Amino acid sequence: MKATTQCEHTEKIIGSLLSGESPSAVLARHETHLAHCPVCRTVIEQLPGDLEQWQNAEVPLLPLKSLLPQPVSEPVHYRSIVMRSVVTAAAAIVAGLLLSRFFVPEPIPELQNIAQDYALLVTTDNSFPVEFFNE
């Protein structure tokens, strides 16, 4: 284990920075120590930036319309919209599958007649060339 991991200055430096003390003031107070302690140097180099970035983090805002009172008093939850679309899409696929499974097309009269004629021909006339239909 490195000696620096036991440094008792680290917590003091972090504490001062978290309390809002300026990095330059902290730097000045611990100058001698910082010259030879890599852990405390990492803290002074990175923590002020991390803190500032966290404090100034911008949060994307929702469109005004989605926050105004709705005619229905239910809030429009973004995730509900996504879930609803997913459920609708899934329902559409299931319905499609069911339809394709059970849907029997209406017989078309002309085709039915041709089929009947063909059946009659095949069963009554043995000389009928079957290949004719296969072309």
Choice from 22, 24, 28, 46 touching another protein (CB under 8 A): 46
3-state secondary structure of 57: coil
Query: How many degrees, rounded to 5, is the angle at CA 19 between CA 13 and CA 21?
Result: 70
Residue 18 in contact with another protein, rule: CB under 8 A = yes
Q: Is 33 in the site for another protein (CB under 8 A)?
A: no
When binding is defined by CB under 8 A, the residue of 3, 20, 108, 109 that contacts another protein is: 20
In order, the DSSP letters of 29-50 are HTHHHHTT-HHHHHHHHHHHHH
* Residue among 49, 67, 65, 46 at smallest CA distance from 57: 49
- Nearest distance in Å: CB 35, another protein: 15
Alpha-carbon span 23 to 41, nearest angstrom = 11
Please choose, out of 1-9, 17-25, 86-94, 115-123, the segment that lies near Zn ion by the rule CB under 5 A: 1-9
Binding window for Zn ion (CB under 5 A); candidates: 32-40, 47-55, 81-89, 107-115: 32-40
What is the nearest approach in angstroms of another protein to the Cβ of residue 52? 10
Rounded distance, CA 58 to CA 60, Å?
6
**Taking the CB of residue 7, how many other CB atoms lie within 10 A of it?**
17
Interface with another protein by CB under 8 A: which residues? Answer: 2, 4-5, 10-11, 14-15, 18-20, 38-39, 41-43, 46-47, 50-51, 53-55, 57, 59-62, 64, 66-69, 73, 75-79
